[in-house]
Chain A
């Protein structure tokens, strides 16, 4: 009997040892220094401060390689290099559960061969946001001030992002997410109600100043640029609801052009795929007509002749759409592919006519380039159709390094604007980034006629 028990115990111990082998090696992977440190940090205090901030200092150096053999020259003077040193201050203060004050400001100093030192235009302050939010009823908010209101589900182009026009500040990247970060809010009063499964938002952005011309040079240092962000009365109503797993947002927007309608939605298709659609429509003139009318009304373009010939001056209902998907893999790779349609933009034929007009009538070159500058200021695509492709690999080769690429491809002429970028998180406070951008295509193509062939940006950012 004793022998049987002994055999049983030996067997049990042997099995125990075998089973423990793999598991012990797992526990061996835990550094002993870490366990000692853990015992000190296991009683953290919950955050309690009512003031939160994420401010930064950023230095960004950009160099351009100009394209000297353009079919007809752009009036804008293309710099060779520029350095920007910025101080970004972002504060949120909550004196009570119902009240929140927000401030976002960026002060930048520029140096470079295009900077107007003599006119003290080397400093620029952008008050991006300054607002008060009051929750006057549970989950019902009144917001007043300069606020960056955004809508839309796509990545590269958001037709339902109605407040984007004339809000661009400055950017080092062509990445649409950087564009969204680098913009001014608009003076607005809004009420938002969040309810189970949705929300409703009503906003009014009043006219505070007459429309200012497109910026031809740096503005006064502390110009609030209300002539850009609040030059007309605008109204918005947005309803967000979840319809059987489809996040849907319907919008109505009214400005000087007319009443815009919009819908955006996104849906999870598979474990790694999200599809989205962003659409808006409005009865309006085409991009070229709107640009010339704006230029004339702000005095930037002469009212007389010569003027860019317009094939059709009638208003028509114009569609704007972005349709695409985002995909991600378990290898930390993500991608977006989108098709952008901007009906009032330039078709392939329109662009050929644009080139031909510049070739045949050099006196028109200012007006012709003005249309492109206007589209950029409005944050509208210049081309009627384009493809947007984005890849990003997190922890590429080494930890804390992200690598990515972004391409805007004109589907009519095959020209493209492509950016490669890398971002390295040196530690919790410091981030280093580098961008290379090239505009590719023939001189008579949309992207190939951009006044610079390539540029490079080096950026270092310190958060505090």
Chain B
């Protein structure tokens, strides 16, 4: 009897929860999902990128990321510093809206780069930086009103909202995004990212959720190259910590001053 009651209650809670979310707009869902991806306080983390060709590891990259939200509900400003491999150590990128600067310690110069260059590479600068999709994109449901059930990275079926994102601002990295967000948890499950010309660039799976800075966040993102699906890149996050970040850090002259630790 007790078991039946427990089952009934949990089912009711689930139904009520989903019913409550049924009222959410696509934009609100994206906003809530963004919170799983991004801490709201200024923070630092380490990101390890591993490239696989045909399932075999080919190269690794380790980055230090510093992010700070610009105002409430605005976009993140990011500083990225290459920690490994030695060939790239000390390189840095600043992303502040559409302002992007690349610093090379070998030539000791910072050059302004265009947002288009965020797309270069299987896991590009656009993937390693912290982004509020809700700030840069207009969201709308696509496909069936019930959403879509898809397999996650572990091939576990997840009932998801299927949402299309189209750019609202010039700071939007991609020309279009298809996004699947689990209905029950509002966690991102999968994304498909397209260029301005509509070409599919990559497919991303959000994986290994762990509580970090108080919220369950994907500790791994698996990115599959859309042109050559044998090229897969994993992005493993670690070392989340809140830090004090001055607004004056987000300019080109600060890039050479960025510390390794």
Spell out A's residues near B (CB within 8 Å): 15-16, 19-20, 23-24, 26-35, 37-39, 41-50, 52-56, 90, 92, 94, 97, 138-139, 141, 148, 150, 152-153, 155, 177, 180-181, 192, 194-199, 201, 240, 242, 245, 247, 266, 268, 270-274, 276, 326-330, 332, 334, 394, 399-400, 425, 427-429, 431, 463-464
In whole angstroms, how far apart are the Cα atoms of A276 and B101 in the complex?
13
Confirm or deny: B141 has a beta carbon within 8 angstroms of a beta carbon on chain A: no
Question: What 20 additional pairs, Cβ within 8 angstroms, besides A15-B146, A26-B151, A196-B248?
Answer: A20-B157, A23-B180, A38-B207, A38-B208, A38-B222, A41-B48, A42-B208, A44-B48, A97-B259, A139-B257, A177-B104, A192-B253, A197-B248, A240-B252, A268-B99, A326-B112, A394-B120, A399-B228, A425-B59, A431-B87
Question: Any chain A CB within 8 A of the CB of B140?
Answer: no
Given A240-B253, A399-B231, A271 contacting B170 (CB threshold 8 A): yes
Contact assessment for B152 and A27 in the assembled complex, using a CB-CB cutoff below 8 Å: yes
Query: Which A residues touch B201, using CB under 8 A?
Result: 330
Interface residue B154 (Cβ < 8 Å from any Cβ of A):
yes
Minimum CB distance partner of A43 in chain B: B238
Q: Does B26 contact A (CB under 8 A)?
A: no
| Given known contacts A24-B151, A272-B116, A49 and B55 CB-to-CB distance under 8 angstroms | no
Interface string of B45-63 (1 = CB under 8 A from A): 1101010111111111010
> Does B220 lie within 8 Å of A42, measured CB to CB?
yes
> Shortest distance in angstroms between B47's beta carbon and chain A's nearest beta carbon?
9
B19 in the interface, Cβ–Cβ < 8 Å?
Answer: no
**Of A44, A192, A276, A428, which one neighbours B87 at CB under 8 angstroms?**
A428
Q: Smallest distance from the beta carbon of A413 to chain B beta carbons, Å?
A: 30
Asked whether, in the complex, the Cβ of A138 is within 8 Å of the Cβ of B238, the reply is: no
Q: Known interface pairs A27-B152, A54-B90. Does A45 touch B239 (Cβ–Cβ under 8 Å)?
A: yes
User: Which B residues are CB-close (under 8 A) to A326?
Assistant: 111-114
**Alpha-carbon gap, A198 to B246, bound state (A):** 13
For the complex formed, measure the closest distance between the CB of A226 and the CB atoms of chain B, giving whole angstroms. Answer: 20
Residue from A56, A330, A425 within 8 A of B197 (CB atoms):
A330
State which of A24, A153, A180 has its C-beta within 8 Å of the C-beta of B155: A24
**Set of chain A residues within 8 Å of B210, measured between Cβ atoms:** 42
Residue pair B54, A181 in contact (C-beta under 8 Å): no
Whether B108 lies near A150 (C-beta < 8 A) is: yes
Report the minimal beta-carbon distance from B92 to chain A, rounded to whole angstroms: 13
Q: Mark B102-127, 1 if CB is under 8 A from A, else 0.
A: 00111111011111110111000000
Q: Are B109 and A150 interface neighbours, CB within 8 A?
A: yes
- With A46-B239, A272-B116 given, is the CB distance from A37 to B199 under 8 Å? no
Confirm or deny: B32 has a beta carbon within 8 angstroms of a beta carbon on chain A. Answer: no
**A94–B111 CB distance below 8 A:** no
Please determine whether B86 and A429 come into contact, CB atoms closer than 8 angstroms: yes
CA A54 to CA B91, docked complex, whole Å:
11
Docked-complex contact A46 and B238, CB < 8 angstroms: yes
Residues 121-160 of chain B, each 1 if its beta carbon lies under 8 Å from chain A, else 0:
1000000000000000000000110101111111101000
A266 near B112 with CB under 8 A, answer yes
Quote the shortest CB–CB distance from B105 to chain A (angstroms). 8
B35: which A residues are within 8 A, CB to CB? none
* A242/B87 in contact, CB under 8 A: no
Most buried by B among A39, A266, A276: A266
User: Which listed residue (A37, A42, A199, A328) contacts B219, Cβ 8 A?
Assistant: A42
Looking across the interface, which residue of chain A has its beta carbon closest to that of B195?
A330
CA distance A52 to B83 in the complex (A): 9
- Does chain A have a CB within 8 A of B95? no
Q: Give Cα distance in the complex from A251 to B74, angstroms.
A: 34
Are B234 and A34 neighbours in the complex by a CB distance under 8 Å? yes
Interface string of B239-254 (1 = CB under 8 A from A): 1010000111001111
CB–CB A34/B232 < 8 A: yes
Task: Tell me, in angstroms, the Cα distance from A55 to B248 when the chains sit together.
Answer: 31
Q: Does B184 contact A (CB under 8 A)?
A: no
CA distance A90 to B45 in the complex (A): 25
Contact A180/B107 with A272-B116, A427-B59 known, Cβ cut-off 8 Å:
yes
Contact A23 B150 (CB under 8 A): yes
Once the chains are docked, how many angstroms separate the CA of A194 from the CA of B258? 12
Q: Which residues of B contact A28 (CB under 8 A)?
A: 155
Say yes or no: is B73 at the interface (Cβ < 8 Å to chain A): no
Are A47 and B261 in contact, CB atoms less than 8 angstroms apart? Answer: yes
The chain A residue with its CB closest to the CB of B117 is A328
A194 to B251, CA, bound (A): 9
Contact B89 A54 (CB under 8 A): yes
Chain A hits for B109, CB < 8 A: 150, 152, 177, 180
Residue B8 at the A interface, CB < 8 A?
A: no
Are the C-beta atoms of B112 and A20 separated by less than 8 Å? no
Given A20-B150, A44-B48, A47-B62, the answer on whether A199 and B251 have CB atoms closer than 8 Å is yes
* Contact of A272 with B238 in the complex, beta carbons under 8 Å: no
Closest to B201 in A: A330
B57 — which chain A residues lie within 8 A by C-beta? 37
Q: CA of A464 to CA of B199 in the docked complex: distance in angstroms? A: 38
Q: Which residues of B contact A23 (CB under 8 A)?
A: 148-151, 180, 190
A139-B232 in contact (CB<8A): no
**B199 contacts across to A, CB distance below 8 A:** 330
Q: Are B149 and A16 in contact (CB under 8 A)?
A: yes
Q: Give every chain A residue within 8 A of B241 (Cβ-Cβ).
A: 46
Whether B11 is near chain A, meaning CB under 8 Å from some CB there, is no
Q: Determine how close the nearest CB of chain B comes to the CB of A238; give it in whole angstroms.
A: 9
Interface residues of B in 200-227 (CB under 8 A from A): 201, 203, 205, 207-208, 210, 219-220, 222, 224
A contact residues around B53 at 8 Å (CB): 399
Residues from chain A with Cβ under 8 Å of B207 in the complex:
38
- CB A202 to nearest CB in B, in angstroms, measures 14
Top 8 nearest A-B pairs (CB, nearest first) are A46-B239, A23-B150, A31-B55, A180-B107, A44-B238, A272-B116, A428-B85, A199-B253
CB nearest neighbor in B for A48: B261
Inter-chain contacts of A39 with B (CB < 8 A): 208
Q: Is the CB of B236 within 8 A of A42?
A: yes
Interchain CA distance A39-B208 in the complex, whole Å: 8
Are B257 and A46 in contact, with the CB atoms below 8 A? no
Q: Are B149 and A271 in contact (CB under 8 A)?
A: no
Residues of B within 8 A of A273 (CB): 114
Can you list 28 pairs linking A and B with CB atoms under 8 Å apart?
A15-B144, A20-B151, A20-B157, A24-B150, A26-B203, A26-B224, A27-B150, A30-B153, A31-B232, A33-B56, A34-B222, A41-B48, A46-B45, A46-B241, A46-B261, A49-B260, A52-B83, A56-B87, A94-B259, A94-B260, A97-B259, A141-B257, A152-B109, A271-B115, A274-B113, A328-B114, A334-B117, A399-B53
